A = this chain, B = another copy of it.
Amino acid sequence: MGESLMEPRTGTTLPAPGGQRGTEPRQAAGAPGRRGPIGTQGDGGVAPAEGHEAVMLLERARAEVDPVLRAALGSLPGPLRRIALYHFGWERADGSPAEGGSGKAIRPALVLAAAAALGGPEARAGAARAAAAVELVHNFTLLHDDVMDRDATRRHRPTAWTVFGDADAILAGDTLQALALRLLAQDPHPASPAAAARLADCVIELCAGQHADTALERCAPAEVTLDGVLAMAEAKTGALLGSACAIGGLYAGASDGEVEALDAFGREAGLAFQLIDDVIGIWGDPSRTGKPVGADLAARKKSLPVVAAFASGTPAAAELAGLYARPGDEGDLDHIALTVERAGGRDWAQGEAADRMARAMQQLARAVPDPEAAGGLLALAEFVTRRTG
């Protein structure tokens, strides 16, 4: 699954999950007052939102968190700073300034939106450092995962290890983890120790997820279970989205129950995102994803739709096993994609994504019963799972 788990591809619209699952049209985001009650959408059916509210929230998060990030990175010793600024897309490899490219700030936006949802503007304003810490952890995992997965491209640029070498990319990642936890340790906010403990816990879960991912990729398809891949995806993708929401809640002084519900909301939304990202990885639009369609299949990755197809017990599953046993045969990607689809992998993934989003909505309603207050978090969850921005 690799890097697609960690960094959303940009600007791709996914067909709304449909089929046998009921859909219930909802108002577009961007007008919170017109949004229906959260958690009442039935079996996960939610019509595509426009995403304007999410885009605004992401831009605002970027504007609030970037100064904290730039100050934190600016405090690093020269060589490590250079690698980090390259990775963030703020410098070129030669150290000259570059424009943008540092990703969408989804995780910082979730921290800030969760803080705002439960504590209003004041809590939001107090959580900028925590939001930056979460973004630093995310980028630490990207740097290390790219080394381990030998991924050569990230955000349409060569990955840090291809430019600076493995050792420097590992060291820059180590540094970003330390920087994240230093930001929290130096934050006088009363929630910062609990947030730091939660973020450190999340790092451990992210590492376990990455371990499981690399282990799964070494397994024969028959040895891989759907539960195993879902657990891996939850650890690798859901955990940090959940932690972002939970940390925002902590900074708003939320109760334990609210914090856990926020965590579960982020985890379920993260799994929905991953399912959809895997669908895009097989059937998406290459001009919009920045990654050729079929790359996951060409690499014989055991992404969620593929594992579901293997587990289907259909004749197509048997055919797929044969196709997956012939690595390197890239001429046949359309045929493999069709076989995954015939084995039910695509339908399963879209249905499961809709289920996960429904569960996310239920958790959100538990954490933030007021739909108006929950609007930002909902818009962000819809944004990451639909990518209609």
Contact = CB atoms under 8 A, between A and B. Distances in A.
A293 interface: no
A175 interface: yes
Contacts of A208: 77, 79-80
A207 B167 contact: no
Given A170-B170, A178-B177, A76 B211 contact: no
6 contacts: A148-B167, A174-B207, A175-B204, A178-B200, A185-B185, A185-B197
A177 B199 CA distance: 12
Interface in A134-185: 140, 144, 147-148, 166-168, 170-175, 177-179, 181-182, 184-185
Given A80-B208, A140-B174, A185-B196, 4 more contacts: A79-B212, A167-B210, A186-B193, A186-B197
Interface of A: 76-77, 79-80, 140, 144, 147-148, 166-168, 170-175, 177-179, 181-182, 184-186, 192-194, 196-197, 200-201, 203-205, 207-208, 210-212, 214-215
Given A148-B167, A193-B192, A200 B181 contact: yes
Contact of A193 (B193, B204, B214): B193
Give the secondary structure class of A's interface: helix
A157 B113 CA distance: 49
B175 A207 contact: yes
Contacts of A184: 185
A168 B211 contact: yes
Contacts of A197: 182, 185-186
Given A174-B174, A196-B181, A204 B80 contact: yes
Contacts of A167: 148, 210-211, 214
Nearest to A164: B211
A73 to B, nearest CB: 11
Contacts of A194: 185
A210 B201 CA distance: 26
A126 B344 CA distance: 58
Contacts of A210: 167, 171
A338 to B, nearest CB: 33
A144 B170 CA distance: 8
Contacts of A173: 174
